[in-house]
Chains A and B, each alone.
Chain A
Amino acid sequence: DAGVIQSPRHEVTEMGQEVTLRCKLISGHNSLFWYRQTMMRGLELLIYFNNNVPIDDSGMPEDRFSAKMPNASFSTLKIQPSEPRDSAVYFCASSRQSNQPQHFGDGTRLSIL
């Protein structure tokens, strides 16, 4: 079975540019999570979707961040405009149901110069 697939694996861009991170869920999973990992704060939940609907976006840092699920198998996380402090590893995870173990993608390492 294919796992959670994230793209790109690495992104380096200049501040002020728009960044779009992509995630393909595992087939049959109805819960989707975006996380950010930094040295200072560890793994933090940014947003949680259930059946394509955003349920909890309390972890989204500010209005520059937005996430969508246009269909049951795909999600995007967009940062516009990007800032150097957004540099981190961003993980997408999915689960069959919200209270079951989450399966993580391999992450996108984002560097904003």
Chain B
Amino acid sequence: DQQVKQNSPSLSVQEGRISILNCDYTNSMFDYFLWYKKYPAEGPTFLISISSIKDKNEDGRFTVFLNKSAKHLSLHIVPSQPGDSAVYFCAAPNSGGSNYKLTFGKGTLLTVNP
């Protein structure tokens, strides 16, 4: 049972345009979400997070939106740059005592074309 789903395995956008990466979750107890970016042959790196008390968090070109009623979040990258080409993972920690345990989506491969 996948509790965090990234239904698009890949996304291709033109440089300068907006990239929108989507993530759905099924566990209503999730109250915090993270996005990680992963380049080939490297480990995932933390990008941005959002708490369920907010519906938006912005950091430079990266904005994450959370829609709790739809159990959906999205990562917007504006403007997209070729260096943003990577696999993006959505993740959520368990609530309560096992909040160390992250459930990851399968990832979306973003390709930004020059």
A residues with CB within 8 A of B? 4, 31, 33, 42-43, 45, 48, 50, 55-56, 91, 93, 98-99, 101-107
CB distance from B8 to the nearest CB of A (A): 15
In the complex, what residues of A have CB within 8 A of residue B99's CB? 98-99
Q: How far is the CA of A107 from the CA of B45 in the complex (A)?
A: 12
**Are A102 and B101 touching (Cβ within 8 A)?**
no
CB distance from B45 to the nearest CB of A (A): 7
> Total contacts A to B, CB within 8 angstroms?
45
**Chain B: number of interface residues, binned into ranges:** 20 to 34
Q: How far is the CA of A33 from the CA of B105 in the complex (A)?
A: 17
**Are A45 and B43 touching (Cβ within 8 A)?**
no
Known contacts A98-B99, A101-B34; is A106 also within 8 Å of B43 by CB?
A: yes
**Are B43 and A107 touching (Cβ within 8 A)?**
yes
Q: How far is the CA of A4 from the CA of B49 in the complex (A)?
A: 21
- Measured CB to CB, the nearest residue on chain B to A44 is B104
